[in-house]
């Protein structure tokens, strides 16, 4: 089988990864290439060393991104002289471990249209500010305990409760800001994105990263450090937006 190389060197998906979280951006770039047919189903990705050089990411980051998409059912690794990493499913097709998930998510994204990008942009502005504001508040013992409890619940990987617990943590952070207007707006944007976030494939490596970001946000709030709380939440929102735009277009 042919290796998908030229003319892919000039395609934007293979441009160097800059800023943000390298893992999430790399997943998005690979997903975009698959979704747009730049690496058709049945063909294999460029060799690992070449692809890492093009994207200017470490081979460890590239392997983690490939593993995440393999876990989601888009890629398959084969050994031997004719081996490599092959595309086995487009990100717009059902199948694999998340059968129907991406197709449903893509339909939801299309239904949302420009409102999806508006919601992501709004969240990017609002939630980091809420986290920073929460870090300036003198939180009661009960408020602090509630944040810690929500953080612990958000780490649970039970598919029946994971998405709800994630939203509850974000809403707890919003409530800790002390602004009812901010909390109401974050509840609204969480609601707008909830069905879509629940429908995209679960990437274990991304969940690990998300859990670590959640922890750093809460730690910064409890430590009274608004700059770190804002920065960590910005990275968290950027990572989610990158994945959504990469997987769904």
pLDDT in tens, 203-217: 788 888 899 999 999
Task: Name the token pair of 117.
Answer: 């990008």
* Structure confidence at residue 7 (pLDDT): 38
Mean pLDDT rounded to a whole number for the chain? 83
* Structure confidence at residue 95 (pLDDT): 46
Asked if residue 217 lies in contact with residue 32, where contact means CB atoms within 8 angstroms, the answer is no
pLDDT per residue as tens digits for the range 166-208: 988 999 999 999 998 999 899 888 878 877 877 777 778 888 8
pLDDT per residue as tens digits for the range 78-95: 988 888 999 987 655 544
Residue predicted with more confidence, 108 or 136: 136
* Structure confidence at residue 92 (pLDDT): 52
* Structure confidence at residue 227 (pLDDT): 98
Say yes or no to pLDDT of 146 above 90.
yes
Asked if residue 199 lies in contact with residue 72, where contact means CB atoms within 8 angstroms, the answer is no
Q: Among 1-5, 115-119, 244-248, which stretch is predicted with the lowest mean pLDDT?
A: 1-5
pTM for this structure? 0.68
Asked if residue 71 lies in contact with residue 30, where contact means CB atoms within 8 angstroms, the answer is no
pLDDT per residue as tens digits for the range 17-69: 887 788 888 888 888 778 766 788 888 998 999 999 999 999 999 999 999 88
């Amino acid at each position: 089988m042919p290796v998908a190389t030229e003319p892919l060197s000039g395609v934007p998906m293979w441009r160097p990864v800059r800023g943000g979280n390298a893992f999430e951006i790399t997943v998005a770039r690979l997903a975009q290439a698959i979704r747009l047919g730049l690496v058709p189903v049945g063909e294999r990705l460029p060799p690992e060393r070449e692809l890492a050089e093009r994207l200017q990411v470490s081979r460890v980051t590239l392997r983690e991104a490939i593993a995440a998409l393999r876990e989601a059912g888009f890629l398959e690794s084969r050994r031997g002289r004719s081996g490599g990493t092959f595309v086995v499913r487009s990100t717009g097709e059902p199948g694999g471990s998340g059968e129907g998930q991406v197709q449903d998510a893509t339909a939801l994204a299309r239904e949302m249209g420009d409102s999806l990008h508006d919601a992501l942009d709004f969240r990017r502005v609002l939630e980091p500010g809420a986290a920073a504001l929460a870090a300036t508040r003198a939180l009661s013992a009960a408020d602090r305990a509630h944040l810690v409890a929500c953080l612990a619940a958000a780490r649970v990987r039970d598919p029946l409760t994971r998405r709800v617990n994630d939203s509850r943590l974000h809403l707890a952070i919003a409530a800790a800001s002390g602004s009812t207007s901010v909390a109401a707006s974050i509840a609204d944007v969480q609601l707008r994105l909830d069905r879509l976030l629940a429908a995209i494939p679960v990437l274990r490596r991304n969940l690990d990263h998300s859990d670590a970001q959640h922890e750093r946000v809460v730690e910064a709030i409890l430590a009274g450090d608004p700059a770190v709380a804002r920065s960590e939440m910005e990275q968290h929102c950027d990572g989610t937006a990158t994945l959504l735009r990469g997987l769904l277009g």
